[in-house]
Structure 1
């Protein structure tokens, strides 16, 4: 393999290491926000490892047709280390800000839905039903007024 191809592969795998670091920080932030149980955390760890392996394998295939060399491991470690040393804290803050923005947008969407559809629909339904409820209440009062009084309770005597 030519030296320029090896340099391109090295840079691609280093970029893959950076991407895997961002992906892991995203996972860390999500895990911190949702605080799942130990079983869910173990399953999520397994899923992250599978996804990270698939990404690294795809990058390796794209870089040098899957040839596994020692400099590939060095490039991956250098990419991860550079990311964690330089940008991890800032990226985690950015991810937290994006998640907060998404949560705020979701709350605003729910409020918009409630105030544009649910509340007007309830108001219209109550307005349309009000005359019928009024008439039903009046009819119940009139019906009770015109009913004959109930018969007095019978006295129970023991048989003689």
Structure 2
């Protein structure tokens, strides 16, 4: 093994030691060891150290074809110690900042979805359900002409309510990354089923409209 390869090996193992230290702190931060059962912690620990060992072995394989020497372990320990003494405080501060940012972003998106999508849909269905009940009640007391007028009014209200929802859907679709769009298009089988159901509903609606229009000539 040449001196250059030995130097690269030492340098890479120091870096991997620091990596293991950062990964261990990240693992401890998300595991919340006191709240977990012992057997869960035991399994997680085994998986964690197995993954770290594979990372170290892979880097060693790239650098010197996985030749183990005594200085490899010394370099790992030195990198780990350097991380603990020099970088741990800074890394933990950055990690906490990233976690807070992700949590706040998730909560903001959740609130926007509830306000802009879920609540309007819930209110819309409540409104439609109330209108249907009102129509059933009016069927008993009003004439067919008034009933048809109310149906047309409800269709107009439906289009007015649906327009901003469509606009929001178009804006959200344009803001989505291309990967998400490809995923949605690839697994759009559910949408096809919805289109079939929509076609059936429209067919029955046309049938009801013809029925309300009176007898055929």
Match of 1:65 in 2: 65
> Is the counterpart of residue 118 in structure 1 residue 118 in structure 2?
yes
Match of 1:81 in 2: 81
Which contiguous aligned blocks of 4+ residues in structure 1 show a shift greater than 6 angstroms? Answer: 137-140
- Tell me if the contact between 1:29 and 1:95 (Cα under 8 Å) persists in the aligned partners: no
Q: Tell me, which stretches of 5 or more residues in structure 2 are unaligned?
A: 141-217
Change (3 A) 1:36 1:99: farther
Relative contact order, higher structure (CA 8 A, sep 6+): 1
Match of 2:4 in 1: 4
Q: Partners in 1 of 2:90 and 2:125 — Cα distance?
A: 51
1:34 deviates by 9.1
Structure 1 stretch displaced more, 46-55 or 126-135: 126-135
Q: Partners in 1 of 2:126 and 2:73 — Cα distance?
A: 69
Match of 1:106 in 2: 106
Match of 1:17 in 2: 17
Q: Partners in 1 of 2:95 and 2:48 — Cα distance?
A: 17
Please state which structure has a larger fraction of its residues in helix: 2
1:62 deviates by 1.3
Q: Partners in 2 of 1:126 and 1:34 — Cα distance?
A: 46
The SS at the match of 2:67 is coil
1:9 deviates by 0.8
Query: How does the TM-score come out when normalised to structure 2?
Result: 0.59
1:35 deviates by 3.5
Residues 96-124 of structure 1, C-alpha deviations (whole Å, 9 max, x = no match) = 22112212111112111111111101111
Query: How does the TM-score come out when normalised to structure 1?
Result: 0.78
What RMSD over aligned residues (CA atoms) do the two structures have, in Å?
Answer: 2.2
Q: Tell me, which stretches of 5 or more residues in structure 1 are unaligned?
A: 141-160
Change (3 A) 1:116 1:33: farther
Q: Partners in 2 of 1:12 and 1:25 — Cα distance?
A: 20
- Tell me if the contact between 1:29 and 1:92 (Cα under 8 Å) persists in the aligned partners: no
1:138 deviates by 8.2
- Tell me if the contact between 1:20 and 1:52 (Cα under 8 Å) persists in the aligned partners: yes
